[in-house]
Amino acid sequence: MKKQDLPMIVSGLLLGSAWLLDAMGMPSLSDGSLASAALIALLPIGRKALGALQFRMASIELLVTIAVVGALFLGEYSEAAIVSFLFLFGAFLESRTIRKTRSAMESLIKLAPSSAVVLRDGRRETVDILDLLEGDIVEVRTGQRIPVDGVIVHGSATIDQSQITGESMPSEKIIGENVFASTILQNGYVEIATKKVGESTVFGNILKRLEEAQDKKAQTQRVIEKFANWYTPSVVVLSIVTFLISKDIRLALTLLVIACPGAMVISIPVAIVAGIGTMAKHGILVKGGESIEKLAKINAIAFDKTGTLTIGKPKVSMIHPVDGDESSILDYASIAEHGSSHALAKAILAKAEELGIKPSYIASNLDVLAGYGVVASGEFGKVTVGNLRLAKQTETEFPIDQLESYSALTQTYPTCVFVLLNGTMLGYLILSDTLRDDAREALVSLRKLGVKEIHVITGDSAASATQTLGPLGIDTIHADILPQEKAEIIQRLKKEKKVAMVGDGINDTLALNESDAGIAMSSDASEVAMKTADIVILGERVESVATAMRIARFTSSVLKQNIVISIGTVFFLIFGVLVGKVHMDTGMLVHEASVLAVILNALRILRKK
């Protein structure tokens, strides 16, 4: 219990004892108890009313104060006590439940440690994060959260980076590698040279964005706020007019009590906060209420193929032997590619490792021809690994006209790597981008959510894109598209549908901007992606697109329900008061109940998965 809740509690106790006294047949004592209940509850209400009045502002508290004081003068002690107590009790319940709608967000903020163990002059010191300087060495042990963005200078560790990258698999980090604030050191010991602290860390940026998001008003919210601004003064005018006509001061005071637009102004922000927080829990950062509303309306989605539906890194998908077998092809290919960090080389080496093939020789001479491939020589002879252009240049026993027929092949499979040993074609490898594991399910979920059209926009050839995306059942594949044409396609789609664009956030800026809702999938929470997209998905799960949409849909429907509840209540109350069915105390009760109803309704969003 807090000191500020004291008037509410005392007033409640007095109210209860008044009923007891009344039941025991002591009406005058009961009235005294009621009047003191009202006066005590009025203390904090009146203080706020006067506070605002100093600056010539009429607040809700002022209306309640007038109504309660008026009721006391009229000798309506019971109504005065009930109204003032309910007003405080309602505010108390509201602040407690609103805190819950913020809880998803607050649990995120707590992830960042507030202190760090720093090594200075050979001694360990625990200091506040904000007192750390760039270059300070901090130590982190098993189970602790990393307090800063920095680089490991000593030790190694397994680190769970899901908070930043969305990647659920922990990664091994060694000296020289970057680590990020808020990630968890699962096992190991590291000393980190501090680069960034607090708000300038990647995690700090995420938090800042979330905080800003909460205050970006949704379209509906602006409409409702305008309505509320207009509503309160008009009910006050209505109550004055009612008094002038009917000379019934009780009726006029009752109208003042129900003039509070509480449920209306709170109905949308609570839903939005809950929605943003719930998405954040799933690694989805949303720009604000407006973005949620836009996402909820989407009925067509365009994916930029590479890096969203596909992994974005090539893999060996087929091995075609010509004059050799699979293992000899991979053997010679890995002799030539050994140690290379080129994406294609990595893919070939990974495939060899997967099949348990280790290079049987070490090349004594390597000649890397950028854009073509690599030629390696050694005691085994000469190995050429490269694309069609390189294969054509190489003196080969392989008939050149047959080689020509591979041109057709490379139309379908743009990445074809030929492996030749001393001019003999051993065979070729086909590398292609592979689908993400969850791509298929994600598209099924999206269709279930009411997405009518799924498009893919890609720079690859139609044949190649169809080959990769075949199993997904895409409605339209836009192939051979130049980056600058992506936005034009979105523009065309927008004429008939509400279109979301899913891209990696770096090459797709224009298209993301053009779309009704831009979604960036990014594993590094880069600022670029955060600025251009309405929604940023941390990590590499396509399913998150569906999750984002599901939460947005739900948030948007809760929002609509809340508007109906709050505005419905208001009209019901005004009507009830004017026909004499609703009195001051029941009016306050119904009003407070409607405020709680919209908050509780918003809390349902937190449970959405």
Partner 1 sequence: MQKRVFQLNPLSCPTCAKKIETVLLKVDGVESAEVSFTSSKVNVAFEDTVDVTVLIDRIHRLGYRVLESKKA
Q: What is the DSSP string of 570-608?
A: HHHHHHHHHTT---HHHHHHHHHHHHHHHHHHHHGGGG-
- Binding partner 1 by CB under 8 A: which of 198, 261, 359, 503? 261
- In the region spanning residues 77 to 96, those forming contacts with partner 1, defined by CB under 8 A, are 91, 94-95
Rule CB under 8 A: is residue 211 a binding residue for partner 1?
Answer: yes
Cβ atoms of 247 and 240 within 8 Å: the answer is no
> Considering beta carbons, is residue 94 or 508 the nearer one to partner 1?
94
Please report how close the Cβ of residue 65 comes to partner 1 at its closest, in angstroms: 13
CA angle 545, 548, 552 (to 5 degrees): 140
Nearer to partner 1, 48 or 604 (CB): 48
> Residue 117 corresponds to which tokens in the numbers above?
């163990």
In three-state secondary structure terms, 342 is: coil
Q: Determine the interface stretch with partner 1 among 57-65, 68-76, 241-249, 563-571 (rule: CB under 8 A).
A: 57-65
Q: Shortest gap between Cβ of 170 and partner 1 (angstroms)?
A: 31
Instruction: Specify the pairing of strand 137-141 against strand 178-179.
Output: unpaired
The one among 3, 28, 55, 607 contacting partner 1 by CB under 8 A? 55
The two structure tokens encoding residue 319 = 């091995």
Under rule CB under 8 A, residue 60 binds partner 1: yes
Q: Residue 266 or 385: which CB sits closer to partner 1?
A: 266
Among 128, 131, 134, 215, binds partner 1 (CB under 8 A): 215
The residue within the footprint of partner 1, chosen from 269, 386, 459, 539 (CB under 8 A), is 269
Binding residues with partner 1: total (CB under 8 A): 27
3-state secondary structure of 147: coil
Smaller CB distance to partner 1: residue 108 or 419? Answer: 108
Residue type, 363: A
Nearer to partner 1, 262 or 314 (CB): 262
Least distance (Å) from partner 1 to the CB of residue 104?
12
| 39, 82, 235, 265: which one binds partner 1 (CB under 8 A) | 265
* Residue in the block written with tokens 């919209």: 598
Q: Is 358 in the site for partner 1 (CB under 8 A)?
A: no
Q: Which amino acid is at 572?
A: F
Out of 59, 220, 458, 544, name the contact with partner 1 by CB under 8 A. Answer: 59
Cα 586 from Cα 592, distance rounded (Å): 10
Considering beta carbons, is residue 198 or 283 the nearer one to partner 1?
A: 198
Neighbours of 299 (CB within 10 A): 15
Q: How far apart are CA 235 and CA 241, in angstroms?
A: 10
Of positions 148, 253, 266, 296, contacts partner 1 by CB under 8 A: 266
User: Closer CB to partner 1, residue 272 or residue 474?
Assistant: 272
> Could you tell me how far CA 368 lies from the centroid of its own chain?
44
Cβ count near 99 (within 10 Å)? 10
Task: In angstroms, give the least distance from the CB of 289 to partner 1.
Answer: 10
Which residue, 342, 312, 315, is CA-closest to 460?
Answer: 312
With tokens 């008094």, the residue in question is 243
Q: Minimal distance in Å, beta carbon 567 to partner 1?
A: 16
Report the C-alpha gap between 352 and 326 in whole angstroms: 10
In angstroms, what is the minimal distance from the CB of 173 to partner 1? 33
Whole-number Å distance between alpha carbons of 379 and 154: 41
Could you tell me if 517 and 535 are in contact, meaning their C-beta atoms sit under 8 angstroms apart? yes
Q: Least distance from C-beta 500 to partner 1, angstroms?
A: 25
**41 touching partner 1, by CB under 8 A:** no
Count of CB atoms situated within 10 Å of the CB of 40: 23
The single residue among 16, 99, 219, 448 that binds partner 1, judged by CB under 8 A, is 99
Please tell me whether residue 517 binds partner 1 under the rule CB under 8 A: no
- Nearest to partner 1 of 12, 262 (CB atom): 262
d(CA 93, CA 163): 32
Q: Is residue 104 a contact residue for partner 1 (CB under 8 A)? A: no
* 152 SS3 class: strand
Residue 266 beta carbon to partner 1: minimum distance, rounded to whole angstroms: 6
Name the amino acid, one letter, at 134.
E
Which of the residues are catalytic?
304
Q: Which residues bind partner 1 (CB under 8 A)?
A: 47-48, 51-52, 54-55, 57, 59-60, 91, 94-95, 98-99, 102, 105, 211, 214-215, 225, 261-262, 265-266, 269, 272-273
